[in-house]
Amino acid sequence: MENAKIETLLYKSGKIVGTHLEDIRERGEDFNVFTILGMETNEPKTHSAMFTALLDPKGNHYHDEKFLKLFLKEIGYDYKDENLKLVKVKAEHHLGKISKNFKSGGSIDILITFPSGRAIAIENKINAIDQRNQLYRYSFFKGNDCALYYLNKTGKPPSKDSLFTLTDEDYEIISYNKQILNWLLQCLAITKVGSIVENAIKQYQILIKKLTNTMDKHLENNLNELIVNNLEEAKYIHSHYQKAVDSIKEKLRIVVLEKLNSNQLVVKASLSQSINHNYSKILLSSDELDKKGVKFGIEPFSGKGNNNGRVFIGILDKKNNYDALRDGDYRFNTYWPLISDIKTPDKNPLNLSSTKTLEKLSTDNAYFEDMVNEIINQTKDFLDTYHGLFK
C-alpha cells in the first residue's frame, strides 16, 4: 500500500471535514441547548422526551397529529382507519419488575397507543447497551397488536442477548441518521418560520447530526465519492481507527493505574476487562474491602457501558446500599450503589467516547497530565470520604 495515497486520502477527507466544522461554527450550531445542559445522550430525559412531545397529537406544539402522521409514514407503519387525534404517546411505560429469568418486566422507552388497541413499542438506544432479553420481554406487550421497533444511531441490529428467541420478522430497525433526520426535516417544513417550535426542532436536529456524524448532503456526497474512489486506502484506515482510539484510552488507564499505586493509598489498583470492553475499569481493593465483599472502581475507560459512557468512581457492591455523604454523589444501579462522576479540568463530565477529548489527550501533553491528576485527585477524595465505612 502506497503511503502517498493514504496521505492524500487523509488530506482530502480532512479538508471536507474542516469545511463541515467551519460551517457548523458559522451557523452557531455549537451553541446547542442540549449540549450546554449536558443532556446530549440522555435517552429518557432528552430523546424519548423529545419524541413524546412531538408525537403527542395533544402536545403544546399545536400541530395536532401532523408530526405523528409524518413519523408513521417515515417508519412505514400502516395507520389506515386510525383516528390519529386520539393516539396516546408515553415515555417509559413500565411493564413491571424484571423477573429473575429476565422473561418479563422492564420499561418500554416510547409507547404509541392507537384507539383501536394497536400499539407501537420503540426501544430507544443512543449509547446504552442492550439488556438481557430486552426486546423479547417487550414483544409480549399486546402480542401481535404491538409493532416492535429498535431505534439506534446508525441502524445496527439488536444483540442476540436482547432478542433471545425473536427473529428478524418480529421487529423493525430504524435509525437516527436516516428515518429520524428525515422525519425532523419534514416536521420543519410544516412549522412556522421563526417559531419556537421550529427552533426547538432545529436544535434537536443539530444534536442528532452531531451524535451520528452526519454532514450536509453535498459535503457527505463529496466524502462518499472520495471514499469510493479510494476504497482500498479507506479500508486500511478504517481497520486501524479503533486500534488508534483504544491506544489513547489504554494509555490514560495505565498511567492512572500506575499513579494510583505510587500514591500509597489504602487500596491496590488493578486492571479489569480489556480496553474495548464495555465495562473496562480499574478496580481498587484491599484486605478490609475483600472481607466485606466490596471494591471501589473507576469505569468505563471504553467510552461505552454504564452512565452513557461517562467515567465515574464508585463503590462496587451488589448486596448493600449506601447514603451519599457529599452533594453530587448518587446511586447508579444494583452493581454500583454509589458513584461520583469524574470531571475534566474544564469541570465537564469525562466521556472517552468524545473524539475531541481523545484528540486532545493524544496531542496535548499538558492536558493529558491535567486529566490524569484530576482522576487521581477525585478518586482520592472519594476514597477519603467512603473507605471509612468498611473499617
Question: Which run of H or of E encompasses 34?
Answer: helix 33-36
Q: What is the pTM of this model?
A: 0.72
CB 279 within 8 A of CB 307: no
Phi (first) and psi of residue 304, to 5 degrees: -125, -155
Question: How high is the pLDDT of residue 195?
Answer: 95
| CA 261-265-269 angle, 5° bins | 40
Question: How high is the pLDDT of residue 1?
Answer: 53
Q: What share of the chain is helix, strand, coil (3-state, %, to 5)?
A: 50, 15, 35
Sign of CA dihedral 268, 273, 276, 281: negative
Query: For the chain, how long is the longest CA-to-CA vector?
Result: 71
Cell of 162: 436482547
Phi (first) and psi of residue 216, to 5 degrees: -60, 150
Cα 334 to Cα 357: distance, rounded to the nearest angstrom = 29
Tens-level pLDDT at each residue, the chain (391 residues): 567 777 777 777 788 778 877 887 888 777 888 887 778 888 888 999 999 999 999 999 999 999 999 999 999 999 999 999 999 999 999 999 999 999 999 999 999 999 999 999 999 998 777 889 999 999 999 888 999 999 999 999 999 999 999 999 999 999 999 999 999 999 999 999 999 999 999 999 999 998 898 877 787 788 788 887 888 888 878 878 889 999 999 999 999 999 999 988 889 999 999 998 989 999 999 988 999 999 999 999 998 876 667 899 999 998 999 999 999 999 988 899 999 999 999 888 899 988 889 999 999 999 999 999 999 999 999 999 999 998 7
Question: Which run of H or of E encompasses 175?
Answer: strand 172-175
First-residue to last-residue Cα distance in the chain: 60
